Amino acid sequence: MKKILLGIAVALISALAVSAQSSELVSKIIKSEKATLAQISYLPALYANRITEEDSEEKAFQVMQESGLFSEEATPDTEATLADVCFVYAKSLGLKGGLFYRLFQSPRYAFKEFKAQGIIPAEADPSMKLSGIDSMDLFSTLTSEGEEE
């Protein structure tokens, strides 16, 4: 009986340690005034099982860059624009989008698609910089809409 309880305790402590890494990263993203490309990559990469909770946001950026979502010149610390965020989220979540998004699959058309669907305000600017909390809110909105369908 003691071995079983000890095993459960070790498993519980291990689970808490694993989620601590993820919690720290999420807290860091929430507190950032301007989201970076690495930060906007973390949740979609985690959601798509392309990284684990133990991986860093830089690893998430690298995975997304290898997928062709960012140019070779982009760095993890580059401030993300609203168009970047729309593109990363649209590609990561497999959103179909309209004709031009399907043809060109670029940040510009992902941004326009999100505007057309009312996901972002009509007066939004594609070059606008988002805070970490705003980028997470957009991701949350997109994933909760996908669950409703």
- In sequence order, the β-bridge partners of residue 81 are 129
19-30 burial code (b ≥16 CB/10 A, e <16): eeebeebbeebe
pLDDT confidence bin for 8, thresholds 50/70/90: very low
pLDDT digits (tens, 9 = 90+) for 48-77: 999 999 999 999 999 999 999 998 899 999
What type of residue sits at position 28?
K
Kindly report whether the global pTM for this prediction surpasses the value 0.85: no
Conformation bin of residue 111: beta by default, left when phi > 0, alpha when psi is -120 to 50: alpha
Q: Could you tell me if 86 and 41 are in contact, meaning their C-beta atoms sit under 8 angstroms apart?
A: no
Domain boundaries, the chain: 2-148
89, 131, 140 from 148: Cα distances, Å: 17, 26, 12
pLDDT digits (tens, 9 = 90+) for 76-115: 999 999 999 999 999 999 988 889 889 998 999 999 999 9
